[in-house]
Amino acid sequence: MPAPLRIDAQFFALPAVARCTSCAARPVGVCAAIPVHALTRLAATGVAMRIRAGQRFIEERDVAAHFFTLTAGTARLLKMLPNGRQQIISFPGSGDFLGLASQGGYNYAAEAVDEVRLCRFPRDALRRLMAEFPAMEKRLLEVTSYELSMAQEQMLLLGCKSALERIASFLLARARKTATGQRIMLPMGRADIADYIGLRIETVSRSLAHLKSAGTIGFATPSSVVIHDFAVLERLAFCA
Amino acid sequence: MPAPLRIDAQFFALPAVARCTSCAARPVGVCAAIPVHALTRLAATGVAMRIRAGQRFIEERDVAAHFFTLTAGTARLLKMLPNGRQQIISFPGSGDFLGLASQGGYNYAAEAVDEVRLCRFPRDALRRLMAEFPAMEKRLLEVTSYELSMAQEQMLLLGCKSALERIASFLLARARKTATGQRIMLPMGRADIADYIGLRIETVSRSLAHLKSAGTIGFATPSSVVIHDFAVLERLAFCA
DNA sequence: CGCTGTCTTGAGAGTCCTCAACCGTGGTGG
DNA sequence: CCACCACGGTTGAGGACTCTCAAGACAGCG
């Protein structure tokens, strides 16, 4: 039986006006399109939650009753096949918006990779927000359009690239996303990486080991990578 | 040197009011969001063109100066890698909208599979239309969101499925899209199919031959397929 | 300290790719 | 009219890359 989702008590300890203005995701998320004077109403329609690592909070094909804004942690979006195989679509993090459903049901399941914090809103709140603030709809189109271009880039990876090229692309994308110089953290395990780039876990491990023995990358721990040679990774990822 | 794009003379022979009202793509495309009284203005900002089979009409990474609505034929959207490999993203047809660019440049190239007819509009016309008709923006969000879910489905195919499962999925998707009962036409060649589902041309041919010898499908010509057993295809495509 | 889970490493097998030849059709020109 | 060629599609043999199965290494935790 799945554990019940937990309300975030810290959130409700705050005065309503501060719930959104103090949010880490506010400057980057779709909420940025909501003017300050309306944030209190926004906060009133939402529920802040904490999702434990591994816990699922969106079920594929469920009626899309809510939408979500992540405020901390990393999630994984995945599609399952009856034979047990699964494809991870993306690893959304703080500021990312979830829950656009193209025909009534969610297109993917969502699970927490590490502890995730998010705000959950009822779907008709989204409709009302979009009607009232056209900037919100515009922002949503931008975000969705960006997601689409990322998905297309991933199709290129899955359709054309070798194991080593996939790993290089993945590491570079992580470095770009988290922008922490040479050191990048991988909150997800090898199995998640494998499901994301269309390989088996052993192949991921072997490819990483190969890059390490070539001196291109190094490991502090299995989830902490240091990139020694960006040029090599870029040449691999670009398939030049 | 690429051949110049051709203006469609037939289009300009029509009175301006009829150019959009008589358009085959109008009921299904994003133009459906434009009220009839504004169609004359819409037609005035657009240029109708015919693209010969094989001709490219969008170049990857070019500045996204236009957007397009297909009115006839089939196109292919593709991303190229320096090593010559390419991934086909989708096969848009009549009614489909092209040209949303997430950061200034087009994310893919577009080429005509067979003879394509389309309407080309300047990008700022899109901005003005969206400002004036919120329904247009809403429609665009719906369309983009649907594209995203299709892309995610394709990621599942590229990341998880075997050659036979990919072919079965492709045939079913075609049957669903064109909705012509048992007989489906494949305007694209084997090479395009291969680039779309992440296989080599020989593997596509072998997989089709295998389905044929199993009695699941049949061929009138290489581009005309008859599906004899939907159930088998569905079992393969869903990986059950 | 043993256990559990994740990650790594090894050996063998399988699927798909590569290279190559062959087939059928449509168009061209002698 | 038919030979010829070009092109797309099919078929075959061998090889490469990744998967599968299995065992070992390592860290975290009761």
For A146-175, write each residue's pLDDT tens digit: 999 999 999 999 999 999 999 999 999 999
The pLDDT value recorded for residue A126 is: 87
CA distance A56 to A76: 9
- Predicted confidence (pLDDT) at residue A179 exceeds the cutoff of 80: no
CA distance B126 to B174: 30
A200 touches strand D (CB under 7 A): yes
Q: How many CA atoms lie within 13 A of A108 on its CB side?
A: 26
> CA distances (Å), B13 to each of B22, B37, B72, in order?
13, 20, 18
CA distance A127 to B128: 23
Q: Does B29 or B187 have the greater pLDDT score?
A: B187
* Residue B136 with chain A: CB contacts under 8 Å: none
pLDDT tier for residue A1 given thresholds of 50, 70 and 90: very low
The pLDDT value recorded for residue A10 is: 81
- Predicted confidence (pLDDT) at residue A16 exceeds the cutoff of 80: no
Phi and psi at residue B188, in whole multiples of 5°? -90, 155
Helix (H) / strand (E) containing A196: helix A190-197
Location of structure tokens 């010969």:
B52
pLDDT tier for residue A221 given thresholds of 50, 70 and 90: very high
- CB A111, CB A81: distance < 8 Å: no
| Mean pLDDT across B199-204 | 98
Extract the tokens encoding B16: 């301006």
- Taking one residue from A and the other from B, the number of pairs with CB-CB distance under 8 angstroms is 120
pLDDT digits (tens, 9 = 90+) for B37-56: 988 888 888 999 999 999 99
Considering only residues 119-158 of chain A, list those whose CB is below 7 Å from strand C.
none
In strand D, which positions have an atom below 7 A from any protein CB? 8-13, 17-22
Residue nearest to nucleotide D7 (CA to C1'): B189
The pLDDT value recorded for residue A8 is: 86
Nearest to B152 among A83, A89, A239 (CB): A89
* Contact criterion met (CB < 8 Å) for A151 and B151: yes
The pLDDT value recorded for residue A2 is: 55
Location of structure tokens 């999630």:
A75
pLDDT digits (tens, 9 = 90+) for B7-24: 888 877 888 778 888 899
Nearest by Cα to A77 from A171, A206, A192? A192
Cα angle at B183 between B181 and B184, to 5 degrees?
Answer: 105
Helix (H) / strand (E) containing B92: none
